[in-house]
């Protein structure tokens, strides 16, 4: 049987997934990644060599557990979180930890660019906001505050491209990572070299890897890697796709009336359009299409962090419930709707200084009320971002994917707050499925991208409850009022407390 392997690198786990050529999942293994280091406030880093070790371990397990005699692997695809940088020296070796997409150290650079007009220059030119986690911002920070590292840079990778380089020995990236990070001139479909000069890092023009489209072969599996993982040598390795592009594609839903919302490390909300629209609209893995929507870092990571703080392991050990099961039992016991939570643990989409917080907390509130407010706050954050999408009024269906989509409480809360029908899907890793579907074209298993967009099976459907939706509309207005009222306080906290 013909099969395809996808490596899906998240910030907390790496998955290796085996698919058939119809997009059906045969097997998946998951390996925990090193927890992101936060050596200083706002910093988020991972050891690049550990990432590679975890990748080989995942591939080896996939081979041992799922790749049977008679299975032929047609190709290996890679998907991973975008933004951040994973630099190597001129010999292709890491010399410092990779900087992950949740890192906000370059907020100081963004503030400066907002004052001197560079941020507005990017906005007008790219039709998108420049963020602290993007390569331009991080590289500028390194040049100013960590010059010894900056001077060692030979090539700047995204995380999937670091893994691809280790698999093949070939350096490359693709359009789906370059677009959202603003490195791409969308009209020319090439690096926008003017930007490097504008922000004072011209040296980095020579450190950008060649561009290979997602569905094309970037190299073949090195002999030593094949031996370590137990795979055949010479397997084609495809260029890969940014996970925010892969997840919507993995559902097979590519119409403007279909919204794909990802509850992951980053919270993403995207539709597929025929032209660029709004501030977050970037080239899709499908040629001549665009992924249009919004995203920020305050989604699944916030949910996990807050639940671990509020519900330590000793609360549910021996109960037969895991963290999320215990938390949702608490939510069912909550009798209060007055508490509001802002989910900005990683800064806000339009204000890097924004902070998380509970508002309206009184002596009668319980832990159950706080957990419920966290769930609502994460969904309110998505809702705010959805409303920035051009043409969001046309959306009638929301496809909820990612780890959080397994929660029926969260899915119903999404439906009640957004007023949309919400579908969850019967797939373990929709992101990996998206990377698989792209490879179907590259391997020749499908003749077109339309043929490759095989619809996913719906697991459950949730419809908005009108009374709850009306209540949440009022609560959301208060959520926004607090957001606006806290802006000056957040800025002051940044100046006084975070160096």
CB 395 within 8 A of CB 258: yes
Average pLDDT over residues 183-209: 96
- 256's CB contacts (< 8 A; 6+ apart) are 271, 272, 273, 391, 394, 395
- The reported pLDDT for the residue numbered 128 is 85
Residue with tokens 């508490």: 339
- The reported pLDDT for the residue numbered 409 is 96
Tell me whether residue 410 is exposed, middle or buried, using C-beta atoms within 10 angstroms of its C-beta: 0 to 12, 13 to 18, 19 or more: buried
Question: Which tokens belong to 401?
Answer: 């994917």
Pairing of strands 13-20, 2-9: antiparallel
DSSP state of 279: S
Task: Give pLDDT tens digits for 130-147.
Answer: 999 999 999 999 999 999
Number of other residues whose CB lies within 10 A of the CB of residue 205 = 13
- The reported pLDDT for the residue numbered 105 is 94
Average pLDDT over residues 356-369: 97
CB 387 within 8 A of CB 395: no
Which pTM value belongs to this model? 0.82
Average pLDDT of the chain to the nearest whole number: 94
What pLDDT band is residue 8 in, cutting at 50, 70 and 90?
A: very high
DSSP state of 456: P
Q: Show the DSSP H helices in 66-146 as ranges.
A: 107-116, 118-126, 135-145
- Beta-bridged to residue 259, according to DSSP, are 398
% of the chain surpassing 90 pLDDT? 80
Residue with tokens 């397997």: 235
Average pLDDT over residues 56-67: 98
- The reported pLDDT for the residue numbered 264 is 79
Residue 350 has pLDDT above 80, yes or no: no
Residue 313 has pLDDT above 60, yes or no: yes
DSSP state of 47: -
Task: Give pLDDT tens digits for 323-341.
Answer: 999 999 999 999 999 999 9
- The reported pLDDT for the residue numbered 57 is 97
What pLDDT band is residue 499 in, cutting at 50, 70 and 90?
A: low
């Amino acid at each position: 049987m013909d099969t395809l392997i996808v490596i899906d690198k998240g910030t907390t786990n790496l998955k290796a997934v085996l698919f058939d050529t119809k997009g059906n999942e045969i097997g998946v293994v998951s390996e925990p990644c090193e927890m992101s280091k936060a050596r200083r406030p706002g910093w988020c880093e991972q050891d690049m060599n550990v990432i590679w070790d975890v990748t080989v371990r995942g591939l080896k397990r996939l081979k041992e557990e799922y790749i049977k005699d008679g299975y032929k692997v047609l190709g290996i695809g890679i998907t991973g979180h975008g933004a951040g940088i994973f630099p190597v020296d001129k010999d292709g070796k890491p010399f410092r930890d990779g900087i992950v997409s949740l890192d906000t150290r370059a907020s100081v650079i963004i503030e400066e660019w907002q004052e001197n007009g560079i941020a507005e220059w990017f906005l007008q030119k790219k039709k998108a906001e420049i963020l602290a986690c993007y390569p331009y911002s991080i590289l500028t920070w390194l040049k100013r505050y960590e010059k010894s590292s900056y001077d060692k840079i030979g090539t700047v990778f995204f995380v999937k491209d670091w893994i691809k380089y280790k698999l093949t020995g070939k350096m490359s990236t693709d359009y789906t990572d370059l677009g959202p990070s603003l490195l791409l001139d969308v009209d020319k479909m090439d690096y926008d070299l003017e930007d490097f000069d504008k922000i004072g890092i011209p040296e980095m023009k020579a450190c950008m890897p060649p561009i290979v489209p997602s569905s094309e072969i970037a190299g073949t599996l090195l002999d030593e890697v094949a031996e370590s993982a137990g795979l055949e040598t010479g397997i084609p390795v495809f260029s890969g796709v940014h996970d925010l592009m892969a997840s919507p594609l993995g559902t097979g839903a590519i119409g403007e009336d279909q919204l794909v919302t990802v509850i992951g490390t980053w919270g993403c909300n995207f539709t597929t359009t025929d032209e660029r629209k709004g501030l977050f609209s970037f080239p899709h893995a499908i040629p001549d299409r665009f992924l249009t929507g919004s995203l920020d870092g305050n989604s699944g990571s916030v949910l996990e962090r807050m639940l671990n703080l509020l519900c330590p392991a000793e609360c549910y050990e021996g109960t037969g419930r895991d963290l999320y099961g215990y938390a949702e039992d608490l939510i069912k016991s909550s009798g209060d709707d007055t508490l509001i939570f802002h989910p900005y643990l990683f800064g806000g989409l339009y204000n890097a200084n924004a902070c998380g917080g509970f508002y309206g907390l009184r002596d009668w509130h319980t832990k159950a009320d706080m957990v419920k407010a966290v769930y609502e706050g994460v969904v309110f954050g998505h809702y705010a971002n959805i409303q920035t999408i051009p043409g969001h009024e046309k959306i009638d269906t929301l496809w909820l994917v990612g780890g959080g989509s397994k929660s029926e409480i969260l899915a119903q809360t999404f439906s009640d707050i957004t007023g949309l029908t919400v579908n969850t899907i019967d797939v373990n890793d929709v992101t990996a499925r998206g990377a698989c579907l792209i490879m179907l074209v590259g391997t020749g298993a499908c003749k077109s991208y339309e043929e490759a967009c095989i619809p996913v099976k719906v697991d459950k459907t949730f419809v908005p409850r009108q009374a709850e939706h009306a209540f949440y509309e009022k609560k959301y207005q208060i959520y926004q009022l607090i957001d606006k009222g806290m802006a000056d306080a957040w800025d002051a906290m940044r100046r006084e407390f975070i160096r």
